[in-house]
A and B are shown apart, each in its own frame.
Chain A
Amino acid sequence: NAGVTQTPKFRVLKTGQSMTLLCAQDMNHEYMYWYRQDPGMGLRLIHYSVGEGTTAKGEVPDGYNVSRLKKQNFLLGLESAAPSQTSVYFCASSNELAGVFDEQFFGPGTRLTVL
Protein backbone atom coordinates (compact mmCIF):
# COMPACT_ATOMS: atom_id res chain seq x y z
CA ASN A 1 0.00 0.00 0.00
CA ALA A 2 1.26 3.46 -0.92
CA GLY A 3 -0.80 5.15 1.83
CA VAL A 4 -1.34 8.84 1.06
CA THR A 5 0.38 10.27 -1.99
CA GLN A 6 0.54 13.88 -3.18
CA THR A 7 1.22 15.32 -6.62
CA PRO A 8 3.29 17.37 -7.36
CA LYS A 9 6.06 17.42 -4.74
CA PHE A 10 7.25 20.91 -5.66
CA ARG A 11 5.80 23.77 -7.67
CA VAL A 12 6.66 27.40 -8.37
CA LEU A 13 3.85 29.67 -9.54
CA LYS A 14 3.59 33.28 -10.53
CA THR A 15 1.01 35.51 -8.87
CA GLY A 16 -2.37 35.04 -10.52
CA GLN A 17 -1.67 31.56 -11.93
CA SER A 18 -3.86 28.62 -11.04
CA MET A 19 -3.03 25.06 -10.13
CA THR A 20 -4.49 21.88 -8.66
CA LEU A 21 -2.87 19.70 -6.02
CA LEU A 22 -3.86 16.05 -6.08
CA CYS A 23 -4.12 13.79 -3.05
CA ALA A 24 -4.75 10.07 -3.38
CA GLN A 25 -5.19 7.41 -0.68
CA ASP A 26 -5.47 3.65 -1.06
CA MET A 27 -6.72 2.84 2.45
CA ASN A 28 -10.43 3.23 1.63
CA HIS A 29 -10.68 6.07 4.16
CA GLU A 30 -13.85 8.14 4.37
CA TYR A 31 -12.32 11.36 5.70
CA MET A 32 -9.75 13.45 3.85
CA TYR A 33 -8.12 16.75 4.79
CA TRP A 34 -5.97 19.51 3.34
CA TYR A 35 -3.63 21.43 5.66
CA ARG A 36 -1.03 24.10 5.15
CA GLN A 37 2.08 24.37 7.30
CA ASP A 38 3.84 27.68 7.79
CA PRO A 39 6.72 28.62 10.13
CA GLY A 40 5.39 29.70 13.52
CA MET A 41 1.81 28.79 12.57
CA GLY A 42 1.77 25.03 12.73
CA LEU A 43 -0.63 22.95 10.66
CA ARG A 44 -3.88 24.70 9.77
CA LEU A 45 -6.88 23.01 8.23
CA ILE A 46 -7.95 24.43 4.86
CA HIS A 47 -10.81 22.15 3.78
CA TYR A 48 -11.91 18.64 4.58
CA SER A 49 -14.29 15.97 3.34
CA VAL A 50 -16.28 13.40 5.29
CA GLY A 51 -17.06 11.26 2.26
CA GLU A 52 -17.26 11.11 -1.52
CA GLY A 53 -19.05 14.14 -2.91
CA THR A 54 -18.79 16.18 0.33
CA THR A 55 -16.55 19.09 1.27
CA ALA A 56 -16.44 21.50 4.21
CA LYS A 57 -14.44 24.58 5.18
CA GLY A 58 -11.69 24.46 7.72
CA GLU A 59 -9.85 27.21 9.54
CA VAL A 60 -8.27 28.96 6.52
CA PRO A 61 -10.40 28.23 3.40
CA ASP A 62 -10.18 31.58 1.58
CA GLY A 63 -8.49 31.42 -1.81
CA TYR A 64 -8.85 27.62 -2.10
CA ASN A 65 -11.43 25.26 -3.52
CA VAL A 66 -11.68 21.50 -3.20
CA SER A 67 -13.46 18.58 -4.80
CA ARG A 68 -13.99 14.93 -3.79
CA LEU A 69 -15.46 13.28 -6.87
CA LYS A 70 -13.95 9.90 -6.02
CA LYS A 71 -13.53 8.45 -2.56
CA GLN A 72 -9.79 7.93 -3.00
CA ASN A 73 -8.99 11.41 -4.36
CA PHE A 74 -9.15 14.89 -2.84
CA LEU A 75 -8.18 17.86 -5.01
CA LEU A 76 -7.10 21.29 -3.77
CA GLY A 77 -7.35 24.16 -6.24
CA LEU A 78 -5.84 27.62 -6.23
CA GLU A 79 -7.71 29.75 -8.77
CA SER A 80 -5.47 32.85 -8.57
CA ALA A 81 -2.33 32.21 -6.57
CA ALA A 82 -1.00 34.87 -4.19
CA PRO A 83 2.40 35.09 -2.44
CA SER A 84 0.57 34.53 0.88
CA GLN A 85 -0.21 31.01 -0.35
CA THR A 86 3.48 30.08 -0.36
CA SER A 87 3.51 27.15 2.03
CA VAL A 88 3.89 23.41 2.44
CA TYR A 89 0.60 21.64 1.81
CA PHE A 90 -0.24 18.33 3.45
CA CYS A 91 -3.06 15.99 2.69
CA ALA A 92 -4.29 13.50 5.29
CA SER A 93 -6.91 10.80 5.50
CA SER A 94 -8.64 8.85 8.26
CA ASN A 95 -11.45 6.41 8.73
CA GLU A 96 -13.26 7.79 11.72
CA LEU A 97 -16.33 6.18 13.10
CA ALA A 98 -18.71 8.25 15.21
CA GLY A 99 -17.29 8.70 18.69
CA VAL A 100 -14.16 6.70 17.94
CA PHE A 101 -10.79 8.28 17.35
CA ASP A 102 -8.82 7.11 14.36
CA GLU A 103 -5.38 8.19 13.22
CA GLN A 104 -4.92 10.75 10.48
CA PHE A 105 -2.35 9.52 7.96
CA PHE A 106 -0.40 12.26 6.23
CA GLY A 107 1.11 12.48 2.77
CA PRO A 108 4.68 13.68 2.12
CA GLY A 109 3.67 17.25 1.34
CA THR A 110 3.77 19.66 -1.61
CA ARG A 111 6.09 22.65 -1.40
CA LEU A 112 4.51 25.58 -3.21
CA THR A 113 6.19 28.91 -3.87
CA VAL A 114 4.22 31.81 -5.34
CA LEU A 115 6.36 34.59 -6.76
Chain B
Amino acid sequence: QKEVEQDPGPLSVPEGAIVSLNCTYSNSAFQYFMWYRQYSRKGPELLMYTYSSGNKEDGRFTAQVDKSSKYISLFIRDSQPSDSATYLCAMSADTDKLIFGTGTRLQVFP
Protein backbone atom coordinates (compact mmCIF):
# COMPACT_ATOMS: atom_id res chain seq x y z
CA GLN B 1 0.00 0.00 0.00
CA LYS B 2 1.31 3.43 -0.92
CA GLU B 3 1.79 5.95 1.84
CA VAL B 4 -0.23 8.51 -0.12
CA GLU B 5 -3.16 7.61 -2.37
CA GLN B 6 -4.62 9.97 -4.95
CA ASP B 7 -7.17 9.30 -7.69
CA PRO B 8 -5.42 9.94 -11.01
CA GLY B 9 -8.56 11.11 -12.79
CA PRO B 10 -8.91 12.61 -15.30
CA LEU B 11 -11.54 14.88 -13.86
CA SER B 12 -13.44 16.92 -16.42
CA VAL B 13 -15.72 19.76 -15.28
CA PRO B 14 -17.44 22.76 -16.89
CA GLU B 15 -16.18 26.27 -16.26
CA GLY B 16 -17.60 27.70 -13.03
CA ALA B 17 -17.94 24.33 -11.29
CA ILE B 18 -16.64 23.59 -7.80
CA VAL B 19 -13.85 21.05 -7.94
CA SER B 20 -12.92 18.71 -5.10
CA LEU B 21 -9.56 16.93 -5.14
CA ASN B 22 -8.59 14.48 -2.43
CA CYS B 23 -5.78 12.40 -1.00
CA THR B 24 -5.63 9.80 1.72
CA TYR B 25 -2.55 8.76 3.62
CA SER B 26 -1.45 6.10 6.05
CA ASN B 27 1.42 7.68 8.00
CA SER B 28 0.05 9.36 11.13
CA ALA B 29 3.38 11.21 11.54
CA PHE B 30 2.63 13.48 8.56
CA GLN B 31 2.05 17.02 9.75
CA TYR B 32 2.92 19.19 6.72
CA PHE B 33 0.46 19.04 3.82
CA MET B 34 0.85 20.66 0.44
CA TRP B 35 -0.87 20.92 -2.90
CA TYR B 36 1.24 21.45 -5.99
CA ARG B 37 -0.06 22.38 -9.43
CA GLN B 38 1.72 21.09 -12.52
CA TYR B 39 0.94 22.35 -16.00
CA SER B 40 1.70 20.09 -18.94
CA ARG B 41 5.45 19.70 -19.55
CA LYS B 42 6.31 22.03 -16.65
CA GLY B 43 7.66 21.55 -13.14
CA PRO B 44 5.29 21.49 -10.14
CA GLU B 45 4.64 24.75 -8.30
CA LEU B 46 3.37 25.13 -4.76
CA LEU B 47 -0.29 26.10 -4.58
CA MET B 48 -1.28 25.66 -0.94
CA TYR B 49 0.43 24.64 2.29
CA THR B 50 -1.19 23.62 5.58
CA TYR B 51 0.39 22.65 8.85
CA SER B 52 -1.46 20.03 10.91
CA SER B 53 -5.26 19.99 10.81
CA GLY B 54 -7.65 22.67 9.70
CA ASN B 55 -8.62 24.78 6.73
CA LYS B 56 -6.73 27.35 4.73
CA GLU B 57 -8.23 29.62 2.10
CA ASP B 58 -6.47 31.54 -0.67
CA GLY B 59 -8.73 33.21 -3.21
CA ARG B 60 -10.68 30.51 -5.04
CA PHE B 61 -8.69 27.71 -3.38
CA THR B 62 -9.37 26.05 -0.02
CA ALA B 63 -7.23 23.32 1.50
CA GLN B 64 -8.60 21.09 4.24
CA VAL B 65 -6.77 18.59 6.43
CA ASP B 66 -8.52 16.00 8.59
CA LYS B 67 -5.77 14.18 10.47
CA SER B 68 -8.23 11.96 12.35
CA SER B 69 -9.39 10.50 9.01
CA LYS B 70 -5.97 10.85 7.33
CA TYR B 71 -7.66 12.75 4.50
CA ILE B 72 -6.82 16.01 2.77
CA SER B 73 -8.80 17.97 0.21
CA LEU B 74 -8.36 20.87 -2.18
CA PHE B 75 -11.45 22.77 -3.30
CA ILE B 76 -11.45 25.08 -6.30
CA ARG B 77 -14.39 27.47 -6.58
CA ASP B 78 -15.52 29.03 -9.85
CA SER B 79 -13.12 26.85 -11.80
CA GLN B 80 -11.52 28.34 -14.91
CA PRO B 81 -10.00 26.76 -18.02
CA SER B 82 -6.64 28.08 -16.76
CA ASP B 83 -7.02 25.72 -13.77
CA SER B 84 -6.59 22.76 -16.14
CA ALA B 85 -3.49 21.00 -14.82
CA THR B 86 -2.38 18.06 -12.73
CA TYR B 87 -2.74 18.58 -8.98
CA LEU B 88 -0.31 16.76 -6.72
CA CYS B 89 -0.78 16.37 -3.01
CA ALA B 90 2.39 16.11 -0.94
CA MET B 91 3.05 15.59 2.71
CA SER B 92 5.88 15.30 5.16
CA ALA B 93 6.55 14.23 8.72
CA ASP B 94 9.45 16.66 8.99
CA THR B 95 10.49 19.61 6.89
CA ASP B 96 12.75 18.07 4.30
CA LYS B 97 11.52 14.97 2.48
CA LEU B 98 8.13 15.12 0.79
CA ILE B 99 5.96 12.15 -0.18
CA PHE B 100 3.87 12.89 -3.25
CA GLY B 101 0.59 11.47 -4.48
CA THR B 102 0.37 10.34 -8.09
CA GLY B 103 -1.51 13.48 -9.11
CA THR B 104 -5.05 14.12 -10.39
CA ARG B 105 -5.43 15.50 -13.89
CA LEU B 106 -8.10 18.20 -14.05
CA GLN B 107 -9.63 19.61 -17.20
CA VAL B 108 -11.98 22.59 -17.05
CA PHE B 109 -13.84 23.12 -20.30
CA PRO B 110 -15.44 26.42 -21.38
Contacts from A to B (Cβ < 8 Å): 4, 31, 40-45, 48, 50, 58, 90, 92, 96-104, 106-109
Q: Are B97 and A102 neighbours in the complex by a CB distance under 8 Å? A: no
* Size class of the contact patch on chain B: 20 to 34
Instruction: Tell me the dominant secondary structure on chain A's binding face.
Output: loop
B1-36 residues with Cβ-Cβ distance < 8 A to A are: 4, 6, 8, 32
Most buried by A among B43, B45, B95, B100: B43
With a cutoff of 8 Å between Cβ atoms, the chain A residues found around residue B46 in the complex are 103-104
Most buried by B among A4, A98, A99, A104: A104
Cβ contact of A45, chosen from B42, B43, B97, B101, cutoff 8 A: B97
Q: Are A40 and B95 neighbours in the complex by a CB distance under 8 Å? A: no
**Cβ-closest chain B residue relative to A98:** B95
Contacts from B to A (Cβ < 8 Å): 4, 6, 8, 32, 41-46, 49, 51, 88, 90, 92, 95-98, 100-103
With a cutoff of 8 Å between Cβ atoms, the chain B residues found around residue A43 in the complex are 44, 88, 90, 98, 100
Tell me, in angstroms, the Cα distance from A108 to B42 when the chains sit together: 5
Tell me, in angstroms, the Cα distance from A84 to B46 when the chains sit together: 28
Q: Are B95 and A102 neighbours in the complex by a CB distance under 8 Å? A: yes
With a cutoff of 8 Å between Cβ atoms, the chain A residues found around residue B103 in the complex are 42
Q: Are A107 and B43 neighbours in the complex by a CB distance under 8 Å? A: yes
With a cutoff of 8 Å between Cβ atoms, the chain A residues found around residue B102 in the complex are 40-42
Q: Are B95 and A100 neighbours in the complex by a CB distance under 8 Å? A: yes
With a cutoff of 8 Å between Cβ atoms, the chain B residues found around residue A107 in the complex are 43
